[in-house]
Chains A and B, each alone.
Chain A
Amino acid sequence: MTASDTALIEHRRARRRSRGALILLALACVGMLLLSLLIGPSDLPPGKAVDLLLGRDIGRAAEFILLQLRLPMAVLGLLAGAALGLAGAELQTVMENPLAEPYTLGVSSSAALGAAVAIVLGVAVPGIGAFAVPLNAFLFSFAALMLVQALISLRGAGTDMLVLFGIGVGLTASALLSLVQYMASADALQALIFWMMGSLTRADATTNKVLAVVLAVALPWSLASARSLQALRLGADRAEAMGVSVARVRLFSLIRISLLAGTAVAFIGIVGFVGLIAPHIARLCLGEEQRPLLLGSALVGALILCAAGLVSGLLVTGIILPVGIVTALVGLPVFFIVVMKRGGL
């Protein structure tokens, strides 16, 4: 057997390991969903959830807690986490920057500005009731990314300018947000700050359906672009030489990122770190081949946010903490451990 044969066998073994890791991650997500049904902030015994799963009658109160509170929150955690993880992985690739996350391009501050405009100034799409705030958040974050893209198109710039424009747009949105906060009444300010802390408690069937549809569109689209994204990892010049239209790949990727991150932020508010650390953990488990990495980042993001949602309800009895606080407090140490283990980014 030649050295090449041995190398090929090793490569194929690594591929199989990567597929196995993806299956394990998917199973872990299912496990976390079930765990989120079994335990939560109320005193409901875990046996009730088992009874529900077995189709037994558990009473209306228990059924309400499980089906109207715990299940939608857990599902929202999975879906929003998957959206943020996938958006983070794509962004780190197109920006050629391992520190990029959906918020680097001003998504969070623009979404917060959109929410503030709806909550404080009452300016929103009419006739959509409770969806006014999330829709505003999504529209503003989408507009921010499109503005960044338009600036890039005008200037024909590379990734360094992309980061610079993103930071610029984000800082502008932050300044405008401060202005709106300064003008806000005490009640409106409280509502806005609560929204910005990030929470899964706004979950219901509709929010989850909307996010599921966005993921159903973006994930296959993203996986179909995996080869072009992988070519981009070798450098923009090299990707062009392989026949990849780098400008188009970046544009489509930014559209997907704004769809994914914008919708997630719209429903759960500002939740940091998931988009940053999920791709790094996925890279550690799966390597950097883009197709498994994109899928893995979505699964790791789902797992992290669902777990954070569970922890946020258990830390203080009777209170569900904003999930953004949990992801930040837990996310930072995890991120450092990952970075130290890899010996760098």
Chain B
Amino acid sequence: MSGDLIIRDLSCGYPRARVIEGLSLPPLPPGSITTILGPNAAGKTSLLKAIAGQIETEGRIMLGDEDLTRLTAAARSGRVGYMPQTAIGRIGLTVLDCVMTALARTGDAPLDQRAMQVLDRFGVADLANRPMRVLSGGQRQAVSLAVAVARNPVILLLDEPTSALDLARRHLILGHIRALADEGHIVLLVLHDLAFAAQWSDRIAVLGRGRLEAFGTPEDVLTPEILRRVWRIDARVERCSRGSLQIITDGAML
């Protein structure tokens, strides 16, 4: 589908506060889910915003041979889909209107038809004509995900896409995200739930105060030592009977 996403010597932040300083990640290949973990204020959201082109950045953000930082906002939006942490608000636009807004000026088939296909895919077609105002937090988050991926961008930046969902819907949405990765998208997730991150990620990048603290498979990264160093918690990491990692916290050392 495309080349790897390459992040080299990335520094970014806001006018009065540099959040990330000289961050480099190993190449992120198509078809992979990389989860960014870290304590609060580690720079997770800033990293996604930097890749999405929403904050000032220095350094290189490449998609294969293409320098994303040199693209116009419109061209970048075709390659990068971004789902912010906050779901779409309680507005009067219908679910279908929201997806159609994201799809405007793309493709040839009728806009509403294409938007409906996106909703179908995420299992929310039955909500199509309902205003966002009447939806639950979880439903609005599912629609927000549909809006972010509607244009079928290569890179998907999803900031806590499951934070408002119950356990069953979390698995459902992460299943959809897995399927998107399997189609060749490069998925970057921000999650707070370490067990979910362990279960659904191919690789995990741990950030702490704007720097890369660890990168690797969940088994490599989610160790008691790293959890103590970055999160300042005492924790044990165990495997459950079905093989997935479980993190059992014994106490914080704040």
Residues of B within 8 A of A8 (CB): 112-113, 116, 128
A234 touches B88 (CB 8 A): yes
A231 and B88 alpha carbons, distance in the complex (Å): 11
Is A190 in the interface zone, CB < 8 Å from B?
no
Is B120 in the interface zone, CB < 8 Å from A?
yes
Q: Determine the residue in chain A with the shortest Cβ distance to B78.
A: A243
Partner of A14, one of B88, B119, B129: B129
Is A287 in the interface zone, CB < 8 Å from B?
yes
B15 touches A242 (CB 8 A): no
Partner of A234, one of B74, B125, B147: B147
Residues of B within 8 A of A243 (CB): 72-78
Return the CB mask of A211-237 against B: 1 if under 8 Å, else 0: 000000000000000010011011101
Number of interface residues of A (CB under 8 A): 28
Residues of A within 8 A of B126 (CB): 3, 7
Is B249 in the interface zone, CB < 8 Å from A?
no
Partner of A237, one of B54, B80, B131: B54
Q: A48 CB to closest chain B CB, in angstroms?
A: 45
A230 touches B101 (CB 8 A): yes
Residues of B within 8 A of A317 (CB): none
Is A245 in the interface zone, CB < 8 Å from B?
yes
Is A256 in the interface zone, CB < 8 Å from B?
no
Identify the stretch in B90-98, B212-220, B239-247 within 8 Å (CB) of chain A at 4 or more residues: B90-98
| Given A3-B125, A245-B73, A289-B97, A238 contacting B89 (CB threshold 8 A) | no
Is A250 in the interface zone, CB < 8 Å from B?
no
A235 touches B73 (CB 8 A): no
* Count class of interface residues, chain B: 35 or more
Q: How many A-B residue pairs have CB under 8 A?
A: 103
B148 touches A241 (CB 8 A): yes
Is B190 in the interface zone, CB < 8 Å from A?
no
| Given A8-B113, A14-B129, A287-B94, A238 contacting B82 (CB threshold 8 A) | yes
22 A-B pairs within 8 Å (CB atoms) are namely A4-B117, A7-B128, A8-B112, A8-B128, A11-B94, A227-B104, A227-B105, A233-B91, A234-B91, A235-B88, A237-B86, A238-B82, A238-B147, A238-B148, A241-B54, A242-B101, A243-B72, A243-B73, A243-B76, A244-B73, A287-B97, A288-B92
Is B226 in the interface zone, CB < 8 Å from A?
no
Residues on A close to B: CB < 8 A? 3-4, 7-8, 10-12, 14, 96, 156, 227, 230-231, 233-235, 237-238, 240-245, 283, 287-289
Is B102 in the interface zone, CB < 8 Å from A?
yes
Residues of B within 8 A of A10 (CB): 128-129
B92 touches A287 (CB 8 A): yes
Q: A301 CB to closest chain B CB, in angstroms?
A: 18
Residues of B within 8 A of A4 (CB): 116-117, 119-120, 125, 128
CB-contacts of B171-211 with A (<8 A): none
A184 and B174 alpha carbons, distance in the complex (Å): 69
B116 touches A233 (CB 8 A): no
A242 touches B97 (CB 8 A): no
Q: Determine the residue in chain A with the shortest Cβ distance to B82.
A: A241
A96 and B116 alpha carbons, distance in the complex (Å): 27
A230 touches B97 (CB 8 A): yes
Residues of A within 8 A of B93 (CB): 230, 233-234, 287-289
Residues of B within 8 A of A244 (CB): 73
Q: Determine the residue in chain A with the shortest Cβ distance to B72.
A: A243
Is B84 in the interface zone, CB < 8 Å from A?
yes
A156 and B81 alpha carbons, distance in the complex (Å): 23
| Given A7-B116, A233-B91, A241-B80, A288 contacting B129 (CB threshold 8 A) | no
| Given A7-B126, A7-B129, A238-B147, A288 contacting B82 (CB threshold 8 A) | no
